[in-house]
Amino acid sequence: MAISTKSDQDTERRPSGRLSRAERRAQLLRTATALIEELGADALTLGALAERAGVSKPIAYDHFESRTGLLLALLAETDSHYEGVARDQLAAAPQTLDATAAIVATAYVACALEAGPAASALVAAIEANGDAKEVWLTSRDIHVAQFAEAFALVLGNPSDSLRLTFIGLVAAANALCSELTAKRISKSDAEATLAHLLISALATYTR
């Protein structure tokens, strides 16, 4: 990974003042999302991102190393919303399968809506790009771990069978969210269907 030097950071400026490294990264991620929404995921390269953000290409590479790293960072941004919403609500909810499923479904759908069309474009780009397969698997495993954490208090001991079930549920959740962002189903239908799938698939694992 490239190390950002003081001179690199000093060149990361905009008319309103100097940006910290964290602020620059956030700006680049916002710019990348806007680029995808405007031109599609295929147009998203680190060179195009640097040009649109008004920075040098080495700065974009310093933050993300590669296009694959940029895609993973964009996916992580949407994950952070899900985690914040779900954890707060789960802490205050009854520890039952139905209550947990409803919270997880609502939070996951909210995450998809926040990400908007950029999420669907990213998924399509990752699935089409063999070099980005690792990104997709990493993102999937993050969601599997999130589901496992959310249901840990209402399910039995973790097992290989349970992990495979979570992998299938993540795939189903992503398919529903793709339908939602494409406006082929409603928010309420996405939430209700995902909650039903979670309850049906996990009922046999309850304590």
3-state SS string for the chain: CCCCCHHHHHHCEECCEECCHHHHHHHHHHHHHHHHHHHCHHHCCHHHHHHHHCCCHHHHHHHHCCHHHHHHHHHHHHHHHHHHHHHHHHHHCCCCHHHHHHHHHHHHHHHHHHHCHHHHHHHHHHHHCHHHHHHHHHHHHHHHHHHHHHHCCCECCCCHHHHHHHHHHHHHHHHHHHHHHCCCCCHHHHHHHHHHHHHHHHHHHEC
**Could you tell me the residue range of the domain that residue 13 belongs to?**
6-65
- pTM here is 0.73
Q: 87 in a domain, yes or no?
A: yes
Domain end position, chosen among 24, 44, 65: 65
**Same domain flag for 55 and 76:** no
pLDDT value of residue 124: 67
**Same domain flag for 130 and 80:** yes
pLDDT in tens, the chain (207 residues): 332 333 344 444 444 468 899 999 999 999 998 898 888 877 889 999 999 999 999 999 999 998 878 887 887 777 776 677 788 889 899 999 999 999 999 999 988 887 776 666 666 666 666 666 777 788 889 889 999 999 998 998 889 999 999 999 999 998 998 899 888 999 999 999 999 999 999 999 987
**Same domain flag for 82 and 49:** no
Q: How many domains does the chain have?
A: 2
